[in-house]
C-alpha cells in the first residue's frame, strides 16, 4: 500500500509546534540523536549565513563545483513552488518517493514531540544527504545563524554574505545584534569567507573571528571583485581572474560571484572560473518568458524578484537600471513583518506606477490597500490595489502595452506566481 504523500506528511509536521519560528537547538539535537546523528555522516559542509545573497551565492558555489566535475548536495529555504526544491541530492531535486520515505522516518523518530517545521525538515535533509555520496554539502541558514537548525555541523568553510536589516523580531533591532546572530555559525579554527559588510556588522564579525581564532578571508582585504569593461575581475593571493558577468543581474550579484569564487579558491577547487557566472536562481530578477501570465502580458515584459528588505530594494533598483529602457511598473505584495517603506523607497524614482496585491494564502500578508498607501507615502503617486497578479498585469498591459512589469516584494508571492505560471 502506498503511504501518505509528502504534502500530507509536511502538513502534519506543521502542527507539531505552536510557533512557526522558535530559535533553539535543543529540539534539533534531540531528533538528530534519535535518527543516529546523520549530520555527522554528510559530505564536507559549506555553511552559508547572511541577510541577502545566500541563495544566489550557494547557486554560484554549486555551479562552480559542478563545473569542476564535482557533485554537491544543497539545502535552501524557503521553497518557491514545491517543498522538494529545498533538498537537492547530488545535483538533483529530491524525488517524491525519497522525500516521503525520509519524512516518515523523521516523523517516527520525533514521536509527536514539539518541533518546528523547519527543524524536522532540516533533519530530513540531513538524512537524505547522509544516504547519498557527494563531494560537498552546501547548507543555507534558514534564519539568523547561531540558533538556526543548520548550525549543528562543523563545516570545512563558513560563508557570511552581506548583513543588513531583516527579521528584527527574532534577531534584534540593531545591525550589531543581527550580525552577532549571523556570526554564530563561525567555528574555532574553521576558515571563513566574509563578503563586504557595513561597518557595524564588520566590527561584530571581526570580534567573533578574533575570539574564536577563525582564519578569515575578507572581501576588500584578502580578495576583491569588481566590474570592468563589461566583465568582472577577481583578485586574491592566487592571482587575477577575468570572467564574464554573471547570468544573475546586478552589482550585488557581482559581489555574490566574488564570494563564491573566494570560497572555491579556498577549497582548492579547480577551474570554477566560467561555471560560477553561469548559475541561475529563480526569483532573482528572473525574466518570465512563457506561461499563462506571459500570455496575458502580451508585448509587456514580465520579471520576478523575491527580495523583501531595504537592502534588497536598493540592489533591485540598481539592477533594473541595467536593463534596456522601458516604462517600469511594479506589482508588489509584502508581509506585515517587513519594512515596506524601506524596500520601496529606492525603487520609487524609477517606476511609473505600482499595483498592490495581497499574497494569496498568507495570513501575514499586508493587505493590498495598505501596500498601496505605503507606496504613495514614499512618493509613488500612481499606486492602487488590485485583486490579483493576473488582474494587475491585465490593467498595466492595457494602459502601457510595452511596459516592463516587475512582480516583487516577497518570496511567498514569487512562489505563487511561479505556480500560477506553470
Query: What are the tens digits of pLDDT across the range 250-299?
Result: 999 999 999 999 999 999 998 777 899 999 999 999 999 999 999 999 99
Q: Confidence class of residue 1 from pLDDT cuts 50, 70 and 90?
A: very low
Spell out the domain ranges in the chain.
6-277, 286-420
Dist. CA 356–CA 338, nearest whole Å? 15
Q: Is 2 a residue whose pLDDT tops 80?
A: no
Residues ≥6 apart with Cβ < 8 Å to 347: 313, 316, 317, 320, 330
Positive or negative, the Cα torsion across 113, 114, 115, 120? positive
Residues ≥6 apart with Cβ < 8 Å to 411: 78, 80, 283, 306, 308
- Any idea which residue has 508585448 for its cell? 299
**Closest residue by Cα to residue 219 from 181, 163, 176:** 163
Query: What are the tens digits of pLDDT across the range 185-215?
Result: 999 999 999 999 999 999 999 999 999 999 9
CATH code at 286-420: 3.90.190.20
Q: What is the pTM of this model?
A: 0.93
Which H or E run includes 304?
A: strand 301-304
What is the fold of 6-277? Answer: 3.40.1190
Dist. CA 374–CA 283, nearest whole Å? 23
Which H or E run includes 127?
A: helix 117-130
The pLDDT value recorded for residue 169 is: 66
Amino acid at each position: 500500500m502506498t503511504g501518505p504523500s509528502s504534502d500530507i506528511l509536511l502538513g502534519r509536521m506543521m502542527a507539531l509546534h505552536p510557533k512557526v519560528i522558535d530559535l533553539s537547538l535543543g529540539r534539533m539535537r534531540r531528533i538528530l540523536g534519535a535518527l543516529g546523528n546523520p549530520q555527522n555522516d554528510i559530505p564536507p559542509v559549506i555553511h552559508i549565513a547572511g541577510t541577502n545573497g545566500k541563495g544566489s551565492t550557494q547557486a554560484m558555489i554549486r555551479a562552480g563545483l559542478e563545473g569542476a566535475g564535482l557533485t554537491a548536495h544543497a539545502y535552501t529555504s524557503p521553497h518557491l513552488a514545491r517543498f522538494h526544491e529545498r533538498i537537492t541530492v547530488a545535483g538533483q531535486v529530491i524525488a517524491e518517493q525519497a522525500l516521503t520515505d525520509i519524512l516518515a522516518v523523521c516523523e517516527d523518530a520525533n514521536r509527536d514531540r514539539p518541533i518546528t517545521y523547519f527543524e524536522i525538515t532540516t533533519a530530513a535533509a540531513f538524512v537524505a544527504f547522509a544516504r547519498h555520496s557527494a563531494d560537498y554539502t552546501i547548507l543555507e541558514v534558514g534564519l539568523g545563524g547561531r540558533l538556526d537548525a543548520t548550525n549543528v555541523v562543523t563545516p570545512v568553510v563558513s560563508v557570511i554574505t552581506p548583513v543588513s536589516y531583516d527579521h528584527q523580531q527574532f534577531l534584534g533591532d540593531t545591525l550589531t545584534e543581527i550580525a552577532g546572530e549571523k556570526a554564530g555559525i563561525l567555528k574555532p579554527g574553521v576558515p571563513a569567507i566574509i563578503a563586504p559588510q557595513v561597518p557595524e556588522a564588520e566590527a561584530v564579525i571581526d570580534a567573533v573571528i578574533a575570539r574564536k581564532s577563525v582564519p578569515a578571508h575578507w572581501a576588500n582585504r584578502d580578495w576583491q571583485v569588481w566590474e570592468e569593461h563589461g566583465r568582472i575581475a577577481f583578485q586574491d593571493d592566487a592571482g587575477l581572474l577575468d570572467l564574464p558577468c554573471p547570468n544573475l543581474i546586478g552589482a550585488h550579484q557581482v559581489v555574490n560571484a566574488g564570494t563564491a569564487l573566494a570560497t572555491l579558491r579556498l577549497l582548492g577547487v579547480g577551474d570554477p572560473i566560467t561555471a560560477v557566472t553561469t548559475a541561475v536562481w529563480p526569483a532573482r530578477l528572473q525574466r518570465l518568458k512563457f506561461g499563462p501570465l506571459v500570455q496575458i502580458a502580451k508585448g509587456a515584459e514580465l520579471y520576478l524578484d523575491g527580495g523583501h528588505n531595504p537592502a534588497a530594494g536598493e540592489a533591485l533598483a540598481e539592477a533594473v537600471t541595467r536593463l534596456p529602457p522601458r516604462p517600469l511598473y511594479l506589482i508588489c505584495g509584502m508581509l506585515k513583518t517587513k519594512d515596506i517603506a524601506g524596500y520601496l523607497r529606492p525603487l520609487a524614482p524609477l517606476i511609473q506606477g505600482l499595483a498592490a496585491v495581497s499574497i494569496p494564502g498568507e495570513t501575514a500578508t499586508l493587505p493590498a490597500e495598505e501596500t498601496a498607501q505605503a507606496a504613495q507615502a514614499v512618493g509613488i503617486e500612481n499606486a492602487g490595489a488590485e485583486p490579483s497578479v493576473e488582474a494587475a498585469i491585465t490593467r498595466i498591459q492595457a494602459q502601457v502595452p510595452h511596459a516592463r512589469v516587475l512582480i516583487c516584494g516577497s518570496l511567498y508571492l514569487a512562489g505563487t506566481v511561479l505556480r500560477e505560471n506553470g
